[in-house]
Amino acid sequence: MLEWKTLKAIHKLMRTQAFGLTAAIALLAVSMSAKPASAGTLYQDWNYGIDAFNDGSGGSQYEIKGMAIKETSDSIWVALTGGTSLAGNSDSQALGGSIGWGDLFFNFSGKNYQTANSAGDLFGIRFAAANDSKVSLGVYQNAKAVSVATQNRGYGSLEQYYNSGYEQTNTLGTDIANKAAAYDYFSKGEVGNVISSGNKVGEVDILSMAQLQGAGLNFNHFSANGSQTVGFKFNKSSVKSGNYTASLFLECLNDGVTVKGDLHSVPEPSALSGFGFVAGALLLSNRRKFRKVLS
């Protein structure tokens, strides 16, 4: 039979254990909720930024209607819809003989675009072989963005674009919906729309319409029916995780789109293993204490 002293020790131990587990659970809850809610519109695992349907300068060939991003266990899928094909629109007066998609930029830094660009904090993805990017196809970290808009008969600044009468609701998609928000993130000036330099960290794979639809892409759900839909994917390990702003402009700055989101939106393995470690350590230490009490 257990003595009163032993019972008291076990009771104390149980209280300690309960407190320890409560603390561990609280820690886990904090680590899971530390990320603020991400923007974008999630539909069938794709995160959509739907752009204004009437803010493309130069007609339907320069009208972006949306961008969508999907995260799988090991890759990031990106889809764009609008009037511009992967090869771009032929134009003999434009650099490279065409005006097409610029490069895609991911910003995980929380800083605005110009600040992140100056600091080399952007990730850049060149997926359009026909454009005027200064690097080969692929994914780049510490990417620097440079503008090729004026060489593509476009706008030297965002302010010029707006002053030409193209300000519409959802000007840069649903996540940067008005001019003030656009200036806040990009500033009024020149917008770097292709990669000038960076460290290559991965390749891009161009995706077919069948592959995109097979993965659940559905711009139709938002009535964002571009005549052209372009898609590609790259390894998730090439980029950071956390909250991001992804942005893309045409080479001429005639239209642009953004989407905000959060990569690894499920609890990260590190958070779970952290919980496992705390719980395991508590159980182990308590087992030792029990043995000591009972011996």
DSSP for 183-197, please give it. Answer: HHHH-SS----EEEE
CB of 148 to Ca ion, least distance (A): 7
CB of 96 to Ca ion, least distance (A): 4
By CB under 5 A, residue 71 contacts Ca ion: no
Closest residue to Ca ion in the complex (CB): 96
CB of 23 to Ca ion, least distance (A): 48
By CB under 5 A, residue 153 contacts Ca ion: no
CB of 88 to Ca ion, least distance (A): 6
Q: Which stretch binds Ca ion (CB under 5 A): 68-76, 112-120, 209-217, 252-260?
A: 252-260
Identify the helix (H) or strand (E) that includes residue 283. helix 269-294
- Sheet of 256-263, strand order: 194-202, 138-146, 122-126, 101-107, 242-250, 256-263
**Encoded amino acid at 264, one letter:** H
Per-residue string for binding with Ca ion, 11-50, x by CB under 5 A?
----------------------------------------
Q: Which stretch binds Ca ion (CB under 5 A): 41-49, 133-141, 246-254, 261-269?
A: 246-254
By CB under 5 A, residue 262 contacts Ca ion: no
The tokens of 282 are what? 């508590």
Q: Which are the contacts of 249, defined by CB distance < 8 A and separation ≥ 6?
A: 102, 149, 191, 193, 255, 256
Among 21, 32, 95, 137, binds Ca ion (CB under 5 A): 95
**Encoded amino acid at 185, one letter:** Y
Q: Which stretch binds Ca ion (CB under 5 A): 9-17, 28-36, 192-200, 248-256?
A: 248-256
- Of 28 and 149, nearer to Ca ion (C-beta) is 149
Angstrom distance (rounded) from CA 252 to CA 161: 10
Angstrom distance (rounded) from CA 195 to CA 185: 18
By CB under 5 A, residue 103 contacts Ca ion: no
Angstrom distance (rounded) from CA 24 to CA 22: 5
Give 202's strand partners: 139
CA pseudo-torsion sign 278, 280, 283, 284:
negative
The tokens of 278 are what? 């705390």
Among 28, 39, 50, 52, binds Ca ion (CB under 5 A): 52
Count of residues in contact with Ca ion, rule CB under 5 A: 12
- Of 24 and 104, nearer to Ca ion (C-beta) is 104
Which residues lie near Ca ion (CB under 5 A)? 51-52, 55-56, 64, 94-96, 132, 152, 251, 255
